Amino acid sequence: MTKKSWNSNLRKANKAKNDEFYTQLSDIEKELGHYKEHFKWKTIFCNCDDPEESNFFKYFALNFDHLGLKKLVSTHYQDEKPSYKLEITKWLDINQDWKIDFKDTTKISLQENWDFRSGECIEILKSSDIVITNPPFSLFREYIAQLMEYDKKFILLWNMNAITYKEIFKLIKENKIWSWYWFNLSLVFKSPYENNLEANLKFCEQKWYFWKNYIKTPAISWFTNLEIKKRHEDLILYKIYNEKEYPKYYNFDAINIDKVKEIPMDYNWYMWVPITFLNNHNPEQFEIIWLWISSSWIDIWVKPYTLEHKKYRKEIQKRGAVDGDLYMMKNWIIEVPYARIIIKNKKI
Ligand SMILES: C[S@@+](CC[C@H](N)C(=O)[O-])C[C@H]1O[C@@H](n2cnc3c(N)ncnc32)[C@H](O)[C@@H]1O
């Protein structure tokens, strides 16, 4: 095998490993408990699953009657083999080992491998009401594009890095998707692969009930396009704008805000807030203007870098630290805050 093909196989394997994270039942319960009204007489589709292992399937199977569901369909993805789907239209019991009794499910074998993009999966997608899963992160762009194309409702668990993808941020900015209750979490997923990284082993040691194939992953959030009240509640603001507390950026006309709760109630121009703002966003209260995505700054009239800033960027890149495009000058020292979002108050 050449070095190039070995590297590309390794990359593929790592990508596949990162896609095999199984969500714990307690994390699913915490979020989905808020959506009861949406599930009544609906067909739920879990299209990136292994139903006999999946806690998404378990959650809906055990709560089938309580939620008043119409149907639950889960497809089992197999890399290069034909696979099957499981369908239920009534409540499933659990046995003495707290395992689901699968004898009441309809298991349908088919030729395709149940890739979410396959013809058979798309047919199920068309006839379902809400798609709920933790999709493979490496295919996230395609995954969400397909849901938008078929105009489907969804609840998805994903890594917050996806917000920085241009296509995903555009959907957030246009209020087509939003975050829900549990946001920016460190979640523990189960994986078929052992994770021997020092940090993970330490974590497993501290939590004696986890072992190497449980992986703690930061910056995980739920996102959805289902409506609920929280999205229309105003963030309560109490601070008053003053120049000292809210410095302006040097190369862009926006003020810096370090904590979401400190957004001033009376500032009517651009404000640069931490990404956690998304969990409080009410589109009637604020407009999302932009996100820190380097190549796009030109679209919002950021001034070109000065010589000092160029020098600073070189130094910071050498140290491997996080660099940004907007910067402040404090006592003639450059300061670049970590990834932020620009917003504007719509009510003043
Ligand atoms: C992050 S895991 C989540 C599994 C499960 N939904 C859960 O949360 O416990 C993503 C799953 O998507 C599956 N998958 C990978 N590529 C897929 C594809 N093209 N179509 C459908 N499923 C896929 C993986 O095998 C994996 O089981």
Given pLDDT bands bounded at 50, 70 and 90, which one contains residue 10?
Answer: very low
Distance (angstroms) between ligand 1 centre and the Cα of 148 equals: 19
Q: Are 156 and 133 in contact (CB under 8 A)?
A: yes
Cβ proximity of 293 and 340 under 8 Å: no
* Pairing, β 271-274 against β 214-224: unpaired
- Distances in Å between the alpha carbon of 56 and those of 61, 107, 125, 223, 341? 9, 17, 17, 15, 32
The better pLDDT of the pair 112, 155 is held by: 155
Look at ligand 1, atom 11, and give the residue with the nearest C-alpha: 48
137 CA from centroid of ligand 1 (Å) = 9
- Ligand 1 touching residue 136 (CB < 6 A): yes
Ligand 1 pocket, residue 256 CB under 6 Å? no
What pLDDT score does 12 carry?
52
Contact (Cβ atoms closer than 8 angstroms) between residue 57 and residue 85: no
SS3 of residue 275 by DSSP: helix
Q: What is the pLDDT of residues 257-306, one digit of tens each?
A: 989 999 999 999 999 898 889 989 999 999 998 876 545 555 556 666 67
CA terminus-to-terminus distance, the chain: 64
What's at 54, amino acid-wise?
S
pLDDT at 1: 45
pLDDT at 166: 82
197 or 124: whose pLDDT is higher? 124
CA of 282 to the centre of ligand 1 (A): 31
Q: Ligand 1 centroid to 20 CA: how many Å?
A: 6
pLDDT at 13: 47
Q: What is the distance of C-alpha 24 from the center of its chain?
A: 16
**How sure is the predictor about 347, in pLDDT bands with cuts at 50, 70 and 90?**
very high
> pLDDT confidence of 68, banded at 50, 70, 90?
very high
* CB 325 near ligand 1, within 6 Å: no
Amino acid 302: pLDDT: 65
Among 15, 17, 19, 112, name the best residue to mutate to test ligand 1's pocket (greatest count of ligand atoms within 8 A of Cβ).
Answer: 19
The per-residue pLDDT for 319 is 62
Structure tokens, 258: 């370090």
pLDDT tens-digit series, residues 176-232: 999 877 788 888 888 877 777 777 777 777 776 667 788 888 889 999 999 978 899
- How large is the average pLDDT for residues 153-164? 90
- Tell me which of 18, 49, 115, 125 to substitute to probe ligand 1's pocket, judged by most ligand atoms within 8 Å of the beta carbon: 49
The DSSP line for 304-324 is PPPHHHHHHHHHHHHTT----
pTM greater than 0.75 (yes/no): yes
Is the C-beta atom of 59 inside 6 A of ligand 1?
Answer: no
Tell me, what's the pLDDT at 202? 75
Please compute the mean of the pLDDT values over residues 96-107 and round it to a whole number: 75
* Cβ of 56 less than 6 Å from ligand 1: yes
**Binding site membership of 57 for ligand 1 (Cβ less than 6 Å):** no
Tell me what the pLDDT averaged over the chain comes to: 83
The ligand 1 atom at the shortest distance from the C-alpha of residue 157 is 8
For residue 69, what are its two tokens?
Answer: 């569901």
Q: Please give the pLDDT value at position 255.
A: 92
- Residue 215 pLDDT: 83
Check residue 188 and give its pLDDT.
87
| Residue 161: pLDDT over 60 | yes
Proportion of the chain above pLDDT 90, given as a percent: 45
Q: Minimum mean pLDDT among 60-64, 106-110, 134-138, 166-170: which range?
A: 106-110
CATH class, domain 3-230, is alpha beta
Q: Is the CB of 158 under 6 A from ligand 1?
A: no
Ligand 1: which of 29, 45, 47, 48 to mutate, most ligand atoms within 8 Å of CB? 48
**Ligand 1, atom 26, residue with closest C-alpha:** 20
- 125-146 average pLDDT score: 95
pLDDT in tens, 316-331: 666 655 556 666 766 6
d(CA 206, ligand 1 centre) in Å: 29
**Domain residues of the chain, as ranges?**
3-230, 233-345
Q: What is the pLDDT of residue 301?
A: 62
